[in-house]
Every structure is written in C-alpha cells, then in structure tokens.
Structure 1
Amino acid sequence: MARPSYGPEAKKRSLHLFTVLLDYANDELDCDEVALDALRSQMQTYWQSEQRLVVRTKVRFLEALTKLANTPLSGGQIKEALRRFEDFLAILDDNRPNKGGSEVWHFTLNLWHKRSDRAANLRQFEQAWEHRRPQKSKQVTGEAPIESEDSGVDGQDFWWQLCRESLEAQQYGQLTLNPLTVADGIAFDVQQLYLPLGLVERKRRESRHDSSSADPQLDEAEDAESPLSLEAFFERLQAAGQQRVAIVGEPGAGKTTLLQKIATWLLEQQSLPIWVSLADLQGATLEHYLLHDWLKQATRKLSVAPELQEAFAEQFQQGRVWLLLDAIDEMALDAATALTSLSRQLRGWLADAHVVLTCRSNVWDGGKNALAAFTTYGNLSFSIGNGGREDQVGQFIDRWFQDNPSLGDRLRQALDDPKRKRISATVKNPLRLALLCRTWSLTQGTLPQTKALLYQQFVETIYDWKQDRFPTTLTQRQQLNEALGQVALQALLQPETRFRLSHTFAQTAFAQSLELMSLALQLGWLNQVGLSTNTGEKVYAFYHPTFQEYFAAQSLADWHFFFDPAHAYPVFNPHWREVILLWFGRMDIAIADKEAFIQALITFDDRCGGFYSHRAYFLAAAGLAEFPQSIHAQSILSQLLQWRFGVFPPSVCEGARVALLQTDRTLAIAALEQFIQITENPFARWQSAYTLGKTLDPGNPLAIAALTQLSDTLQNETLRLQVLESLGKIAPDHSVFIQSLEQLLASTQQGNVRRRAAYSLGKMNAGHPKAIATLEQIIQSTTNATLRLRTAENLLTLDPAHALAMAVLASMQKPLAKTSRKRLKAAPSQDLDHLITTLEHRLATATDAAHQRRLAYRLATLQPGHPQAIDGLLQLLLAKETPTLYKRVVEDLKAVVLEPQLAKLVSQLSVLVVEANASTAHQVATQRHECHKLLWYCAQQMSYTAFSHAWCY
C-alpha cells in the first residue's frame, strides 16, 4: 500500500474539496445555477449544528461538483482527500455502517468555526494541516521547520505571563464599586462578593414577530433554553471553534464582573486574555491600541520593535488570544456606528482572535447591529428567596455585612416588606444592590421608592461619608451637583465626548469654578481613566455611566428638551433612555410636569405611519416604573395588552411585549390578571397567562388556573398540548399538567401530538415510565421518516445513550434544507469587477422573480448598496406578482442597504402602506405586513427628522 502523502499537492487537493463542500452547503457556490440545480437531488447536505455538516452522496457527484467549481478532482483524488479529513485532520466522522464496497459516502464534517465564518475555517484548515504534518515531509519538500512554541517571545509562557501581569496592572480583579469605597478603607475583590448569576442565550426575535403565532412559549428570551451555570458557560467557551460572544444587559447588571471572571478562567486555561476598555480607544483603532498602547504597557518598553509586534500577531494567528472588550456603549460614537466600527476592525490579523465583549442592551438592540452574528448572552438578575428559589439578594447582603450581621438582617427585613416590593425588584440588579448596601451601612436609613431616589440617596450619603476628609457645605454640594449635571449633559450632547471627557473639555465645562472640578475628582464623581492618544492630555470619566446619566437628568427641569429638534429629538435616541427614566423618578419635579410629559408621549403624532408614535408610547410605559402613580397608568397598560395580544403589525406586538417587561411590575401584573379574566379570545388568554405566570409573576395562581381551564376545554389536541406545555413551564409539578399529558397520550392517535406529549412528560418529569416507552413505540411503528427522526432526537435528549435512537440517527438523513446565504465567497480583487459586471448583466436580463432576487442579493453583497441591486429588490417588494418573495426580500434589504439609501425606501414604501390601509385582500395584507417590518427597521436607523421628511415625499 502506498504511503499517504501530506505534501503541498495533497493539501491543495484536500483544501479544494473542503472549500467546495463548505460553499455548496452554505448555498454560496458561484457556478452555473442550472447545472447546480440538476445536481442538488444527488447531493444531500444537512447542518446538524453551526459547526457540523452531514453529507450523503456518491464520489461521481462530488467529481461533478468540483468541476462546476472550476477545481476539478478525480474520483481517486476525492477519496484520498476524504481519507485525509478522517485519518489526518480528524474532522470527518464516517457514518456508513459498512465502509467497504459502498458507492455512497455518508459522513459528518466537523468545522473549527461557525459555518458562516468561511475565511476562518479555510485558514484553520491550512494551519491544522501544517501543524500535523510530519517534520520529515517538510524536509522532503525543502520547507523550513517550524520553531518550537516555547522559544523566546514565540513561547506561550512569555505571552501568558505578559497577559497575566497586564491584567493585574489593570486591577481587573477589583469591583467597579471600589473607586467610591477605597478612600474609606473598603475595597472588595471579585471573590469576596461575587455570586454567579444564571446566564441565558438571547435568541434573535425576527422570526417571532408574527402576532398570529399560536405558541406563547416563544414569548420570553429566558424560555429559549434553561439558564446556564457559569461552569456550563465556560464549557461552551471551551468548545472547538472561534468564539464571538457578547454579554448584553442593563447598566449594573454584572457584565464587567462576568468579563473579569472570564479573564480569570482564561488564565487558568493557559489562554491569552487581553482586556480592553473600549472607551479608552478615544478614536484610535483597536489594532493601533494593541500594537502600541497595550504592547508598550505590557512589555514596559518605550517603543515596540517590529519583531515583537510580528510575534504578537502570531499569537492571534495561532488562535490563543482572547480579546475581552468592555463597554461598547462607552465608545465615543453613536450606537450603530460603534458596532459597525468594531466589526470592521475585527479583520485582518485581529480576525483570528476569540472575542468576548460587553454592551448595554439598549445600544445592542437599538438599531442596525453589525455584530448581530455574535452569540449573545445576558445575566439574569439576583434571585430573591421565595417559592423555594435561592436567595441571592440575601446572600449578597450577608457577604457585604459580614462584620455587622445585625445591620444586614435589618436591611433584609426592610426589603421583605410587601410595601417595598418595587425597590426590592430594583435592587436585584448587582450594582444597585451594592449601592444600597453602602448607603444603608452609612445611614441605616429608609429604603427609596425609585431608581432615581436610590441614586439621590447614594449621592447624599457619599458627601456625608467623606465629610471628614473632604468637608463640604450644603451650598457647595448644591453647586457641585449642578455643575456635574451640566458637565454630564454637555458630554452626552456631544458624541465625540459622551462618556470620556478630555481635560480641556472638563476645564471648559467647569469654567466658572475649577475648585468644583477638583472637588469632583476628590470625591470620586470624576476619575482620571487615562491619557488621550492624540493630545496626551488627561481623560476623565464619571464613576459609572449611570451616575453621569443621573446627574444629567437632574440638570433638566423642562421635559420639552426631550422633544427638541435642535438636539435631534433625544426622546427617540436610545442613549437618552436612561436619562429620561431617571428624570421621571425625580421627587423635585412637579407631578403636573410628569403627567404632561406622559401625555405628550402617548398622544404624540409623528404623521409618518405611527412608527415614532408607538416608540413614544412604549417609552411612556417604561416611565411608569419610576412614576407608577400617573393618572394615565391604567389606560397605558390596557393599550399595551391590546397591542401585545391582538392582531397588529409585528413591530407593534414586539414593542408592547418589551414595554410590559419594562413598566412597573405591580401595575403590569394587575393589568394582566384583569385581562385574563375578561378576554374572550382563547389565544390571547393563553399567551397572557403564560407571560404572567412565567415571567412577570412566576407561579401566579390565576395564570395557572387560566391555563388549567383552557387545557380542559380546548378540543383541538394540538392546541391543548401547547397549552399544557405552557403550564408545565410554569408549574412542572402541577397535578393537572402530569395527569392531562398522560390522558392525552392514552387518547390521541396523532403521531406528532403523542411525540410532543411524551417528550414534555419526560423532560419535566425525568424517568417517567410512559415517556421513554411511548417514544420507542413511535419509532418502531411509524412509517413517517420525519416523525421517526424527530422522535429519535427527542429520545436522545431524554436518554443520551439510548441505542435505538442512536441507530435511527445513524441510518437516517434529513431532507436537504436550503441555507440562507449569510456570506459570499470572497473573490480575488482582479476578478471582482468582472464578476460584478456579469451579475449586472444577468440581473438586467433575468425574467424569473426568484432568480432576480438571488442575483440582486449577490450583487449587493459584492458591492454594498449597489443601486441596481437595491432597486431590483425594492421593485420585487412593490410588485403584486411576487407575494412568496416578500419576506425574503425584506431580509435581504435589511442586510445590504446602506444608510443613505434608507430615505428612498421610506419614500416609496410609505405610499404603498398608506394605500393598502383600506384593503383587506390577503396578498395586500402580506405585502403591507412585510413593508411595515422594513419601515420599522428604517425608523430604528434614521433620526425622526430624516424619516418624517422622507415619508410620502
């Protein structure tokens, strides 16, 4: 037998086949589409996960595929490449029961990175090949041997030590609260106070906007999957492949603390974590910051030699570096620009790094997100000990007051008072609980009612706390608060400063009294956070962005500011949301003024389709969390429930869903309880009961009773099962849930209903005797291949080692599923112009609408914003003859349209929406539905002024 070859030619052929398979499965193969369509029936592919591709075909069809891709391989070369995938690279699992004599090749290809990251997978293929390639093979071909990883600056020990020392110098293990406590001799590290919060993966909601959906279990992000422990989260990070992770949440939710824990864990794994506070970039690129600022500080050298920079970049190419990027929201850019800028910077040699970043949810979700492909997680809040749940709030208080437990006990008792339910819910946020503990320890006072009052109490406490060291009079405090408010407001009004204040800016802002600036620095309200890379002057920041927003809110007396067109209508800017909410919580604002602002929000007429009117209304609902006594509260909640559970455009339903979670919880619970009892629509009752019992008031008796009653009265077995599944998520041990599932199993003849009922029973009640037996019986009796496959998957979830289920999955193959075209194969620069010209001609002459859409989308991905492509997609959306393409066209446009082109979309679509309002025809309704989604997207990207000007013009 000939000895296997691992040389350049073998690698080249194997890489060709790997590339063709990846492009074909991703629907990105650039070839004759007619010939490719003829081959599809012989080439079955299925993405088992983002990194596992199952292929079932014959060698002769692989030959034909490589010819179509202009990289022809013979049958022998293809077989050789497949063997190298298996025995050399170890990325192929052979799924054939008998390997010899079979024409069919059935295998699973395991990628290093997600399927959409084509470049990273191809790069890793070459690196893995060379890493595994025998040294003798390299000598035969005359290649230089690779140096040992442990030699000099190329060694892992050197770089690991550098990263560890850099993290220690950045004091990454200290809590962010410490700058305001250290002067009093109190400084906590992460280990002293840290309590692991549950993590949930946040699912993208675009597919959930249809209000007609009959499954409310898609209602909350938490329900997408069970919360992850920190250990389980680390296991995910450790999984093979490049990591792109975002930690998203509200201010003070523990994002930075989690990033600190990740840094510690990475050091233990001998990885190379590099911490970057993104606000420190100050206009510099990430590449420049790493090669100059970070590398100089880490090596403690005045200048960095090019050789050292090259060695540093090599660590990225080897996949050992993890960039921990903290606080995108604090970059001196608006939300969409910051996300887009960072996306563009994670290219070149930086693209090889693993990335974990943190961002506020309002920035991450506020508009076009160039980093939307990141796997996104969010911290759950601290739990409160009721209903058998762990009392993390109590544990945190006990740790804080470990030297004075009686004081901590009094705080816990105060929070347990039913009259303090609102503030108890507020301090489930880690930062706010820490602030409350510090305030309580100094004043032993009363609990505030709102978030704004919590910060006001904290501000007052700090002055008293530091009175001995930095004495201040009441007049000085008032003057400093006013000055801090003006500084905070001026900074927020200027995108180039926002959360980072240059020394020049600060001096100008404090022009009337530099003594107040000095006092602000002494008290810790302002802190020096670095030096400007451009001017070398000092750069300051408020202790935490929320304090800057608090002081800014204190400086605004007139709510009309938020509707001021001179400031681009802050009411519609996500960066001003926290300021507005804190303004509502101020006690020195007259009730009449707050009511007037609420009235202005709920009656705002944008005169451009209601896209901004709805946003204003949702903001008013969120404002009730700080101003629950508003006379408009009941009418606002009633309207939210109508939008949430009625038949309205998807953006309106989704906005109402979010607003219900953000408004005053007590009001929302009461409104939902009333709605459940009066609504006659069983679907609305089902969905509202699930929202109430699962999210807003876990285990609510009224919600359980409503779902129980529905499960008893519904005749449709499928709907009854879905209601029972909702009940099981709220009360898995409820007797009705278990008994009803058992009855359904005994009575139904529908195979899919039986499968789901048995799976729910087994998932909620591990080891239930009927669950496994029913699933086994379905597999053995059904002739429906899809049902058999789904049942086997369910059975493996309940029993991961079940032999029958494993055998079914090994022998069956899912039908070919087309994949969305997320990434287009990069073309050499010299061929790009020719390819674009060819596509332009093909698009101009194409007559089939589906083919026109594919060509236009491909053209726009090669040249973003291509006028012919955008116009082509827009015309397909406006046409009456293409209703089946509307949804796909809208998604394509959202992916490729450029900001300057949004106004044109608004102008043309607005006419269609207005004209369609009076029509109820199904086709027109579908078209209007999709157009509304696209217009809502445009409204998220554009200012109100620009959108309203484009409307109907």
Structure 2
Amino acid sequence: MHDWQYFFNHDRSNLNQATYRIFEPEWKAEILHWFSQKDVAKEQKEDFIQALIDFDDSCGDFYRYRAYFLAAEALSQFPECSLGDAIASQVLKWSYAYFRQDKSDWQILPKPLVKAARKTLELTDRNRVIAAFVHLVHTTESRTVLRVAAEKLGKLDPGNKSAIAALALMPITENRHGFCQRSYSLGKIGVGDETAIATLIHDIKKIPDREICTQGIMALADIADGNHAAIAALVNLMETTLNKENCCNAIAALRKIAVGNQTAIAALVKFLDINQGDRICFDASQALWQVDPGNAAVLKSLVRIVETSANAFLINRAAKYLLEIEPGNKTAIATLSKTLETSQSEGERLQAANSLLKVNSNNKIAINVLLELVKNLGQSPTDPYYTQCIAWEATRTLSQIDPSNKIAINALVDLIRTANDHYYLNLAVQDLGLLGAGNETAMATLSELIASTKDDYLLCNAAGSLGKIDPGNKVALSTLYQILETNQDESGRLYAVQNLIKIDPMNPKAIATLCQICESNPYEYESILMNAVQNLEQLDSGNNLVKEKLNEVIPILIQFIQIFQQDNENKNFNQYPTVQLSYESCLLDIANSLTKILQSEHLPQVVITLKDYLSEQFYKNNSYRYEAVFNIIWHCAENMSYPDFYKAWHN
C-alpha cells in the first residue's frame, strides 16, 4: 500500500466518502511507519506532507493544526523532506505563546495550540528543531524571545554552545529585570559550561554588594559543581562583600558545589574563627559540615553559639542541628532540656520538645511538656490565639509519635472540649477524623459536639470526621442531610456536600445538591460553582446516576461560559472556605473542568453552541471568553471525527 490517499482523501462535497484516518489515533503509528518505508517513493511522501500542511478544514483551523502537527511528526521518519525546515520553523513559532508578525503586531496564541506545538517539537526531527532554535537566537531582535529560545534550546540540546553564547553576549543593564533574567537563564541551561560560569563570575564581581547579585550566586550554585574558579569567586565574595545576604547566599552556594574542596573548607574554618555567635556563623557551620563532614570546627562553632548567643531562637536552632549531626551531643541535650524547664516562651518549649523527641521518641520530659501545652489551651489572657496555635502544634507532634496512640487522640478530645477559639476547634475536629478510627472516645466526643452545637460549619466538620472514623455512621449522615435541607446559604450547603462526598462518594443527595447549586444563580456565586464542578470531576462518569446528573449540569455550565460577566463588587465573601476567583480565572477554570466531564454525546451541541464566540471581533472584545471557548472546542476537535465536527460547525 503506497498511495497516501488511503490515509487522507479530502472531499468536502462528500464527507462520508472521504478518508480522514490522519485524525484517528489508532492509525497514527501506521502512518508514521508508512513514512519510514524505503519502498515508498520520495515523491509520494512529499505529496502527503504537502497535502497535510495545506489542509484547509473550513471549520476554525482545529483540524488544520492537527494535520500540520502530524506532518511535523512525520519528519522524524522522513528527515530528508524538502519542506522540513519550513515546517520546523512554523511549529517553533506556534510554540512561543506569542510572536511578532511585523514590528507593530504581536499575536497571542491560544494555550492548547501552544501546548500541542511544544509537544510536537519533542516528536519531530530533532536536528531541524535545534537548527531552527539556533537560527532564532542569532536573528531575533527581541531580548525576551532570545532568552526564552536559548532556554528551550538548552533543554533540547544540553550544553548547546549557541544558546549559552547568545545569553552570555546578550547586552543587559544592571537592573533587577535584565541581570536576574540572564542569570536565571544561564542557571537553567549552562551546567558545567565554562562560558556560562565565567559570565556569572564576571557579573557578581561587578556588583558584590547589590541585592541583584543574589540571582547570579544562585545560578552558579546550580551549574558550577566542583568548579575551582566559581568556588574561588564565592569565597572572595563571602570574605569581602558588605551585603550580609549576599554573604549568606555565597555560603549556601559553597555548601552546594564545594564538597571536599580544600579552598572552601579552609575559608569556612577561617570565617568561623573570625566571626562568632551570629546567625551567619550558623549558616557557615552547616555549609562546612556539608563540604567536610565531621569537621571539628563545626562542633566548636555550634557549641559556642549555644553557650554565648543572646538569641534564644538561634540557640535552639544550633542545638537542634547539633543533635542532627551528633545525636548524643550532651551540650545540645542539656540546652534543650533547660529550655523545657525554664523558658517562658511556649513556642521555644515546643520547638525544644520536638527536637528532643526526634532523638528519643520516648523522652518523658518532652512528652509531658507537650501534654502541658495542650492542657494550657486558652489559658493565656494576653494572647489566646498564640496559645491555641501552640497547643494544636503540640497535639500534631503527639499524633506523629504514634498515630494510634491514645495520648494523641485524648489530646485532641481535650482540645475539642476546652477550646475557646472557633478556628482551632475546627482544626482539632478535622484532625480527629484522621487519627481516631474506631476509637470509642473520639466517636463519642464528635457525637456530643454534633448534639450540642448549632454552627453549621462546625457540624459539617464534626459529621465528616465522624463518618471517616466510623463508616456508615447514621448520625453523621443525618446531620449532613439536615444541613442540605435547611441551610439557606449556598456555600454552607456546598460545604456539607463536600463532607458528604468524602464519606459517601456516590451519595445521591450530594450529587443532586451539586446540580442544584449549579442551577441556583451561578453568575453571582461563581466561586461556589467552581467548587461544585471540581467535585463533579471526581465522580465516576460511567455511573448511570452521575451520567444523568451530568446531562443536567453541562448545559448550565455552557450557558455560564456564554454570559458570565465580571463582578467587581466581591459579593461572594462568606465564612465557608470557597475559592475566590478572578473573572478570567473563573472562565478558564470552568472551561477546563467542563472538558473533563463532557461526554461524547455532548460534543456536537457544544460546537454548535459556542463556535460563534471564536470570531476575530469577539477575540478583540473579550479575549478571556474567546480563550475559554477555544479550549473547549479544541477538546471537542480532539474527540470528534472530522466529518462530524464539520457538520456541527456548519450546523
């Protein structure tokens, strides 16, 4: 079979008799194999490629792009194609996300097209793509295009000299935008390259005391592992810069690239001898231990920080690190133990207990401190919120020691029974749902809370947690059902649905409520609608009940895409945790979700309904709606045959 028209025989006057196997996924491998066959004439292959890139689908170019991308992929099997350079160049242009048609006209491309083009670049003739990128970095007048193209070229062809040279020679101003962007790009593609490293060294030497030096230091840390010139430059910067942050960053970079390097080791030891007690010494100690594990100067420096620093936070941090590198270090243990006994700061005591428990999970003193912190919930008259936060963190630590341990569960129970703050009470209720499976006390506590509170948000959390630790619990289900039936607030009902689906994913009442929420004024409650749609995505679309409900909600979402308008009044603020979205984000996110729940039977009507929103005039007037519609119809084109799509497009 040598005739390419077996795969593609376009006849718009008689679509049913035409052949469009080029758009059928199951034929793609066979088509690419056809291009690799040596007994197929070169002229046949050239003609097929020409037909693909010239294809005019007369329905929005969706299938034109697909045909073009297939031609580009075919180059991997037919690299001698005379049209190869032009095809690679065009696909490269579509992959930019935007490109300049002339000096006064920038065109922004739809994201699905850009994504498909970038994927095709990975599948087509690699040598042609590299050549196209090289040509671009040498000819473009745009610094932005040059930088992006050089980055992509560096990823496609690691170590490509043209990409690195283009960035190194790119003229920049010493401002944050120009300097940082070039440093960032070199850091992404210049691993081990002497030109890239030399450029970064030159840059940081010019501005050792300026904040923008940071990006150059970080880039060196990414590409200059073991490079002696880079290590020397960073050592010099550490020793001479007047900018403390640049000094810290240079130390962090040495920690990453100077393992075993004697110059760096000697410099860090000297640095610790000269500087004492400061946070920067802690950073230098960590770096020295990384580049020279076991170095005695590190232990000496950390002990000195613990014994002499006036900063309690730094003392505890140094003691914690001492325990990490030398678990039995007596100075560290003594210091943290003293913190447990004498510190007036609940936060310091919590951190000290956490550090000691990492070394010995049975440390009785540390466990007792955590229990004490939990019991002190709400006892601080000056800062109850801080105290409650500490108590909650202490409970989390107890639960991590042993998730099934009654100590952790009882701590959460006590937290629930004594908490005065609504926020931490709800956190404790939710945590109990993760830790209290099968525990009678936990189940009883949640049941009591449900019986005593009238707060619907707390009721949702309590019922959700009870349903998790006691699957099928009737109190949990009936509580959530009651909220669905009585709560007049849309966000409250949605939150009940979210908890109900977590404990009973296919619950009919939950699904029905989701659809009702979508039908109930979605244009005012767009964030609630978004949450509802995200819940629909998680359901099994093969289930008959879900499928029936999707048939109800999909037309509502399509209408939403058509007429939703921007709301600047922020009407949607409420007590429930819903996603607050911008106008454009809401449109694009709904479009993305819609493509995930659309069934094949919906696609023709979606094309018929939305195609008119893709006119050039509409793009100029409402680009976000244009992009949302383009995303949806692109999905339809990927999942419909060309004849069916053509008929829907022309109705």
Which protein has greater RCO, CA pairs closer than 8 Å, 6+ apart? 1
Greater fraction of residues in strand: 1
- Greater C-alpha radius of gyration: 2
TM-score normalised to structure 2 length: 0.49
